[in-house]
A = this chain, B = another copy of it.
């Protein structure tokens, strides 16, 4: 007697759960050291000490009632100010604390933004391949998700398709950068061209179209790659961020929304975000975490660790003849399936105890996602299994 939508969602998530249980069963049969699980995007590098120290210090020195109490739904003024200052210093932006809303992670932030923006039937665009949760987030607020094709093999968005997909119902475009699942970083040139398409369409339809950036992987970039900061290119922009990956604290549910100081109807949008935060039941971002964050805004987990993994697995897979775009960010590799139905490739890999996720999950069949946020030792141990897997397809 749960709702029809949730019955479908439960059925869908049962497949993921089945895979998870299958992995556990495999570990029981062959030993966990012989299972190579690349299915989960969980950070595994250390939490910065400064963060844990800040928690202890806050608990020891601050008034408990204030530390654990309600504040303005948008967050503590000092946290919002610290986030604004940090962004301004790093990106030359001009945020004031009023433009920052602290949230329950990026997932919370995206829901708060979409709740604020969407009337029933409004359309939201996502650039395939994309994080499958965007479908649920959009449906939560009665929006309709439409997909924009990628340019293959670069996996930058196909901008002609973007332009064709924008209609008078388009309210927002979600841009995840660096991209889960490809590890691609959309270039400054790409962002400029997207901005110019949106500007043109805004004029054509006489209504606002918002860029909503989702950038939990912003700090996880390699080879000095720069991730464009979107408010610099387009005024109607909401930046959503999570500290889950940069500080390895995904369970704490702490992130923010930064609203462009040049957004149309900015005051109403900011009030909307604050009210949406409350109505959706988040109320506010966890209070102690808001305080503990302040001295860690410049802290980073060990990105070099992921980089070492990236080089090893990308090098090995391309050497073995697999095709994949070289990731510039995040901790994913998006590998072309050597057979048309990638689900069969996922099954074949499982025979060698390699767990991967089908690209269909990200609206991009024919590919699989490999999450290399694993221990280097496991990665090394897995290489012979990839050799055997490659051998299967060489023989075919």
Q: What residues of chain A have their CB less than 8 Å away from a CB belonging to chain B?
A: 1-7, 9-10, 13-14, 42-44, 46-47, 52, 55-56, 59-60, 64-65, 67-71, 104-105, 107-112, 115-119, 122, 133, 136-137, 140-142, 207-208, 247-253, 264-265, 268-269, 271-272, 274-276, 278-289
Asked whether, in the complex, the Cβ of A208 is within 8 Å of the Cβ of B275, the reply is: no
A3-B116, A47-B68, A105-B281 are known; give 5 further A-B pairs, CB within 8 A.
Answer: A13-B275, A46-B64, A104-B253, A104-B281, A280-B280
The answer to whether B10 and A286 touch across the interface, beta carbons within 8 angstroms, is no
Alpha-carbon gap, A272 to B68, bound state (A): 30
In the bound complex, residues from chain B placing their C-beta under 8 Å from that of A107 are 278, 281-283
Closest to A274 in B: B13
> For residue A71, which residues in chain B have a CB less than 8 angstroms away from its CB?
251
Q: Which of B110, B264, B272 contacts A281 (CB 8 A)?
A: B110
A117 partner, pick from B2, B142, B208, B280, beta carbons under 8 A: B2
Q: Which of B109, B112, B137, B281 contacts A111 (CB 8 A)?
A: B281
Docked Cα-Cα span, A76 to B275, in Å, equals 30
Q: What would be 29 A-B contacts, judged by CB atoms less than 8 Å apart?
A: A1-B117, A2-B117, A2-B272, A3-B115, A3-B117, A3-B118, A3-B122, A3-B272, A7-B272, A9-B279, A14-B271, A43-B69, A46-B65, A47-B65, A56-B59, A64-B248, A67-B251, A69-B248, A70-B250, A70-B251, A104-B253, A104-B281, A104-B282, A108-B282, A133-B279, A137-B281, A140-B140, A140-B279, A250-B283
Contact A288 B55 (CB under 8 A): yes
* A268→B68 contact, CB < 8 A: no
In angstroms, how far is the closest chain B Cβ from the Cβ of A178? 20
Complex-state Cα separation, A264 to B1, whole angstroms: 8
A13–B72 Cα distance when bound, in Å, is: 13
* Interfacial chain B residues near A136, Cβ < 8 Å: 278-279
A143's closest neighbor in chain B, by CB?
B3
